[in-house]
A and B are shown apart, each in its own frame.
Chain A
Amino acid sequence: MSVYEFRRTVSPQAAAAWTPRQVLLTNLRAVGGRAYPRVHGLFREKSWVFFEVLLPFLSTSTFVFVYRALRAPPEYIGFVVLGGAMTAFWLNVIWMMASQLWWEKSQGNLELYFAAPMSIMSVLFGMALGGMVMSSTRAVIVLAVASLLYEVRFAIDQWLLLLTVFFLTLAALYGLGMMLASLFLVWGREAFQMSQLFTEPVYFVSGLNFPVARLGLLGALALATIPLAVGLDAMRQLAFIGANFPIGTPTPEVEALILVVMTVVFLAAARWMLRTLERRARREGRLSVRWQ
């Protein structure tokens, strides 16, 4: 059989009628396909080890030394270290996922993605998964080295809940990332600036370096809307049992439930938003206009 004769179906109608299994398999394969360049790119150009892992470790150390300068209780060092580790995932969501569709449009890939039969959510998830290699490396290095160097003492009782909260945080974060990706698709160039906006301001309201409940109403709002805030708060409570947390801080179990709700809501909203905003982008011709 010539290479040009391949996977023949009897009619275009038959070829277009995919079973749910075909749809699922295609989407799963698309995840792997899109993660591939991310993962292999990391091994082909290794400057990220220095810039994305070692330097951020120093950045986290800055806040450790701030607390040391203030003679803060030792658990605060642990809070900063945990916050520094989780920053990696937040940045992965913002830079490697949310604003990525805008990048793909600039490079001419976006229209090819939309012209292909897989779900764009698979592509986004593949991007996030691929970027997670870098993020995980960064998180592990920051956590392990900083904990050793700065003598952080973890006190963990409920390992299973801690791990569950961690994975729920990631799920909710990536759901949020998908929502943001759909918005960025429509915003165009502002997407890049918005990515910048989602760093320090979010670090502040998420309590990256301190218990978020210290922010009062603002902290409560963060707990209701930002997965990073909820997840970090819960993980701190589970990793540093016995530390003082402000009165009114929700328990880790409650925060885990909040994360579950966030995951479901964000993923459902992301699916709806991606479809709606794709349609809008198709109507306005934004899928293949660069330099917008």
Chain B
Amino acid sequence: MAVPATPTPSPPAPPAIETRGLRRIYKVKPTPVIALEHIDLEVAPGEFFGLLGPNGAGKTTLIKILTTLLLPSEGTARIFGFDVSREEKQIRRIMNMVAGGEQSGYGILTVREQLWMFSQFYGLSRSDGWRRVDDLVDAVGMGAEREQRVSTLSTGQRQKMNIARGLLNDPWILFLDEPTLGLDVAAARQVRELVSAWKAAVLGRTVLLTTHYMAEADELCDRIAIVDHGRILAIGTPEELKRRVQRESIFRVELDHLDAGGAAALALLPGVVSVAPAAADGGPVDRQTVGLNLALAQDGILASVVGALGDLGSHIVALRKSEPSLEDVFVELVGRGFDDPDAAVTSGPGGTAGAA
């Protein structure tokens, strides 16, 4: 009987994005501008990765390098193992990009025609192109505008069209450079929903999103890198990043009453970091409650606190968790400056980041 051959283990899939020592200098007068400073980054296939930072942080420069529009001054960058400097053809076949505030295209064409033209650039056949365009136009909610000239579209409509363009070739990796820039709340939400739905439809799709809208990054991204002045200040999941600023879980609890010494008793419970009075809720005089801000080592301690409150005879009127926002994280990180050794980084799974 033949011995079955040991199956050769398949090589590990390369990261969707991998940069090592990436640097980009613009030689402008009077002083060259260092747009990116030693960026080390790794994004796994299937991640929704965010680059969060203010204007001028280097987000767009990084995305232009990764989309093969710009060469790095130093270092390397790879997309699914393909080098951005030498293998741009391969990368262009598997990626697409959409930028916010994009005014590209030809105003004289209709939405449908514009998208069809781009479908041809990605090698779709004539008929497949029209079919794909019609499907995408409906999917992004522009069915009513399909025969409208591009020059007559509103900002939100134009961006939805751009998103459709970005999805034409079913990219393995989609680069979004501030895609909701200049959009109203409803349009921005629609764009986020479109992108999320597209990503969720097939396993393995990767998205790199640059944004300076904290809530957007918080909502969409599996992991976020905070960028400023060409450096990555921190990388992690939104929760991990928030923990940098606030390690405890903060709860605000409204009680019908609290006996004297009750707060002190709560503070002695294991896992309770601190108990502090909260401002009155301003309700009717006959329904004044007692507010407390509880800092707990972890969420699980809450159960013992609730039990203790019951033992004290207090009833909970309202309970709310308060979390730091990514904005708090950003202000905390950027406000520290680059010489601060505490600006060193937390690693999330599969990622590294450049040291400040």
Contact = CB atoms under 8 A, between A and B. Distances in A.
A26 B136 contact: no
Contact of B97 (A15, A29, A115, A283): A115
Interface stretch (B113-121, B238-246, B295-303, B347-355): B113-121
B92 A117 contact: yes
B121 A118 contact: yes
A265 B192 CA distance: 50
B69 interface: yes
B23 to A, nearest CB: 13
Contact of B109 (A22, A37, A118): A37
A112 interface: yes
Interface residues of A, number: 47
A250 to B, nearest CB: 41
B122 interface: yes
For the complex, would chain B's binding face be called helix, strand, loop or mixed by DSSP majority? mixed
B125 interface: yes
Which of A3, A6, A8, A15 gathers most chain B CB within 10 Å? A3
A33 B116 contact: yes
B67 interface: yes
A22 B77 CA distance: 26
A137 B80 CA distance: 49
Interface string A201-239: 000000000000000000000000000000000000000
B321 to A, nearest CB: 34
Contacts of B71: 279, 282-283
Interface in B97-131: 97, 102-106, 108-109, 113, 116-126, 129
B76 to A, nearest CB: 15
Interface string A1-29: 01111111001110111100010011001
A288 interface: yes
B148 to A, nearest CB: 13
Chain A interface mostly helix, strand, loop or mixed? helix
A118 B123 contact: yes
A32 B285 CA distance: 76
Given A8-B170, A115-B68, A40 B121 contact: no
A3 B135 contact: yes
A33 B202 contact: no
B172 interface: yes
Nearest to B123: A26
A287 interface: yes
A154 interface: no
A13 B104 contact: no
A282 B121 contact: no
Contacts of B129: 29
A249 interface: no
B93 A108 contact: no
B91 A16 contact: yes
A179 B247 CA distance: 61
A109 B109 CA distance: 14
B109 A12 contact: no
Nearest to A36: B117
A283 B139 CA distance: 38
B82 to A, nearest CB: 7
Contacts of A279: 71
A117 B102 contact: no
A211 B169 CA distance: 52
A282 B68 contact: yes
A36 B105 CA distance: 12
Interface in B51-103: 64, 67-71, 80-82, 89-97, 102-103
A282 B67 CA distance: 11
A6 B132 CA distance: 9
Contacts of A46: none
Contact of A282 (B70, B89, B94): B70
A16 B113 CA distance: 26
Q: Which 5 A-B pairs have the closest CB atoms?
A: A33-B120, A26-B123, A4-B201, A16-B90, A12-B80
8 contacts: A11-B13, A15-B94, A17-B90, A26-B123, A107-B103, A107-B104, A107-B105, A111-B69
Given A4-B202, A282-B71, A283-B71, 15 more contacts: A2-B201, A4-B197, A4-B201, A8-B170, A11-B13, A29-B123, A29-B125, A30-B120, A34-B121, A36-B120, A107-B103, A108-B102, A114-B69, A116-B92, A285-B26
Interface of A: 2-8, 11-13, 15-18, 22, 25-26, 29-30, 32-34, 36-37, 40-41, 44-45, 107-109, 111-118, 123, 279, 282-285, 287-288
